[in-house]
Amino acid sequence: MLNKFTLTEALEGLKSKKFTSVELVQACLDQIKKLNPKLNAFLAINEKALTEAKNADISKPLGGIPIAVKDNFLTMGMPTTASSKVLEGYLPQYESTVTRKLKDAGAIIIGKTNMDAWAHGSSTETSDFGPTLNPWNTGHLPGGSSGGSAAAVAADMCIAAIGSETAGSIRQPAAWCGVTGFKPTYGRVSRYGVVAMASSTDSPGPITKTVEDAALIAQIIAGHDPYDATSSPSHVPNLAPSTKHLAPLRIGIAKEYLVGQSKSVVLEAAEQFKELGHKVSEISLLDPKYSIGVYTIVQRSEVSSNLARYDGIRFGHDRSFFGDEAKRRIMLGTYALSSGYYDQYYTKAQKVRTLIIKDFEQAFKKFDLIIGPTSPGPALKVGASIDSPMFGELEDMLLEPSSIAGLTSISVPCGFVDGLPIGLQITGPQFAEKLVFQAAFSYQQATTWHVQKPQLS
Amino acid sequence: MDVKHVAKLANLPLKPGEEDKFAKQFADTLKTVDVINELDTSKVEPTSQVTGLTNVTREDKIDKNRIIKVGDYFKVPSIFNAQ
């Protein structure tokens, strides 16, 4: 049962020689073997994982720890498909900065996880290799696009995982699978070697069993990267949350975000923050419907540009291999950027983006953090995203605003509806990672939602 | 939207029936997107990126000792010369 350990527990166990990395990796591989046929969280398993475990240097920060990585991170020696048949069988020529940093820190990439094809979606149902199912109830979706990573963590198939978020793709699957998902400030973590989706919002980050674990991984993967010109040169402070009592914070809860079945659960979480000594009060933010509009245009436009490179010559197969969702996004983006429509759609969306950023700037003058539901409700049923071209936008409506503004945010489990987990998002200004971790950590110290595990057989 | 024309611009082959299917879906999506026109942006600058970084360059490093001068020009190793 070593696979059930949190990252912090596993590191402690390895360092005090209670068990070895080989035993830890084997426990995860056993769990994958047992559950992957049912959940489809992994697309590929690292065949050298046990050898790497044997040679693991446990003096390193993540020495000997098996970590699952979303399949849009380039990994040398392991196929990288972004869950698209266009890239089926593609072997990367170089390593992404995030996985290089993990490997340098001693981690073992145990396998590559399923996702929405090209990260286009919030269900993992658009994967060309079949959907991932939710460990809490296999009749339900895990969310997405990092659904494989979130399900792998929830089902203890790994100690921690890496996902990437363009607008909700870490936080929403984390919420639906009852785990912790952290979205760094845009530019805090390098995008180098991540299959590009929407380049102005793509943000890699950890999906873990606790906030403490997320901070530990964030510390390792964050920082300036000369290979990503948009990565921030600003110093990364010590992100580890402390058990010291947190000075009272001003926490805003946006009334526009209190929708759906998550509302009552999140209001209870707000009470918890009050009990911890913080001041929680209502604020008004721009209606999320505007973010849906901005995100749809900006994301499709950037997708159409980024996916132009897949011509069957340099990578994988030709353009006839694109699935419906990728085709829709490429075409809508092409339209929004085409002559005669550019100003009407793309420029207009970029202007409204400015308004959304200013809206948050105003809010953060009065508040340290903003909390709200991660998703309007719990995981939807398998099949819910089929033939719903706006599925992701609607499920992620409460996450798009913070992504558009490039803010940092975390989703932590905060309760259940119909036996399915609900996520609470805690959002801070750009580069306020430390405060976000600290607040989320104090919440997990006071609650036990994150310790709940799905019944799996 | 002229789906056929956009598919051509995007270099995407369409299967039979896709033109009609996508046309309907795009119309729905564009309707959802149209709400952004409710906001007055006449005095707002567009945002294309949020990093605040500008002109990110790296320093050019030139090893002057390796430059072979030929008159007003300098020589570099040939690229296309086979022999």
What is the per-residue pLDDT across A29-88, written as a single tens digit (0 to 9) for each?
999 999 999 999 999 999 999 999 999 999 999 999 999 999 999 999 999 999 999 999
Higher pLDDT, B67 or A215: A215
Task: Please report whether residue B31 resides in a domain.
Answer: yes
The alpha-carbon gap from B83 to the nearest alpha carbon of chain A, in Å, equals 29
- Under DSSP, the state recorded for A352 is H
Which range of residues forms the domain containing residue B26?
A: 3-38
pLDDT by residue (tens digit) across A8-28? 999 999 999 999 999 999 999
Contact A352 B41 (CB under 8 A): yes
Checking if the pLDDT of A382 tops 90, the result is yes
The alpha-carbon gap from B70 to the nearest alpha carbon of chain A, in Å, equals 35
Considering the entire predicted model, what is its pTM?
0.95
Quick check: is A145 catalytic? Answer: yes
ipTM of model: 0.89
Residues of chain A above pLDDT 90, percent: 96
pLDDT by residue (tens digit) across A397-441? 999 999 999 999 999 999 999 999 999 999 999 999 999 999 999
Checking if the pLDDT of A274 tops 70, the result is yes
CB A60 within 8 A of CB A102: no
Chain B residues with CB-CB distance to A335 below 8 A = 1, 6, 26
Task: Please report whether residue B55 resides in a domain.
Answer: no
Checking if the pLDDT of A345 tops 90, the result is yes
Q: What is the mean pLDDT of residues A230-245?
A: 94
Which of A320, A338, A353 shows the shortest C-beta gap to B13?
A320
What tokens does A304 get? 């159409």
Checking if the pLDDT of B83 tops 60, the result is no
- How many Cα atoms occupy the beta-carbon half-sphere of A165 within 13 Å? 36
Across chain A, what does the average pLDDT equal?
Answer: 96
B39 touches A at CB < 8 Å? yes
Higher pLDDT, A189 or A395: A189
Mutate to test the interface with B, among A331, A385, A407 (most CBs of B within 10 A): A331
Q: What is the DSSP string of B7-68?
A: HHHTT-PPPTTHHHHHHHHHHHHHHHHGGGGGS--TT----S-SS------------GGG-E
Checking if the pLDDT of B81 tops 80, the result is no
Mutate to test the interface with A, among B3, B4, B12 (most CBs of A within 10 A): B12
Quick check: is A453 catalytic? Answer: no
Task: Please report whether residue B78 resides in a domain.
Answer: no
Number of domains in chain B: 1
Chain B residues with CB-CB distance to A294 below 8 A = 36
Confidence of residue B65 (pLDDT cuts 50, 70, 90): confident
Q: Are strands A160-165 and A369-373 parallel, antiparallel or unpaired?
A: unpaired
The Cα B27–Cα B37 span in angstroms is 16
Checking if the pLDDT of A275 tops 90, the result is yes
Task: Please report whether residue B21 resides in a domain.
Answer: yes
What tokens does B8 get? 């051509």
The Cα A86–Cα A268 span in angstroms is 45
Contact A232 B51 (CB under 8 A): yes
All residues at 6 or more sequence positions from B11 whose CB lies less than 8 Å from its CB, including other chains:
A308, A311, A319
Task: Please report whether residue B54 resides in a domain.
Answer: no
B61 touches A at CB < 8 Å? no
Task: Please report whether residue B69 resides in a domain.
Answer: no
The alpha-carbon gap from A76 to the nearest alpha carbon of chain B, in Å, equals 26
All residues at 6 or more sequence positions from A132 whose CB lies less than 8 Å from its CB, including other chains:
A39, A40, A41, A113, A114, A124, A142, A144, A147, A148, A151
CB A350 within 8 A of CB B26: no
Confidence of residue B67 (pLDDT cuts 50, 70, 90): confident
The Cα B41–Cα B47 span in angstroms is 12
Contact A230 B53 (CB under 8 A): yes
Mutate to test the interface with B, among A126, A202, A352 (most CBs of B within 10 A): A352
Please tell me the predicted confidence (pLDDT) of residue A378. Answer: 97
Chain A residues with CB-CB distance to B45 below 8 A = 351, 354
Task: Please report whether residue B29 resides in a domain.
Answer: yes
Task: Please report whether residue B24 resides in a domain.
Answer: yes
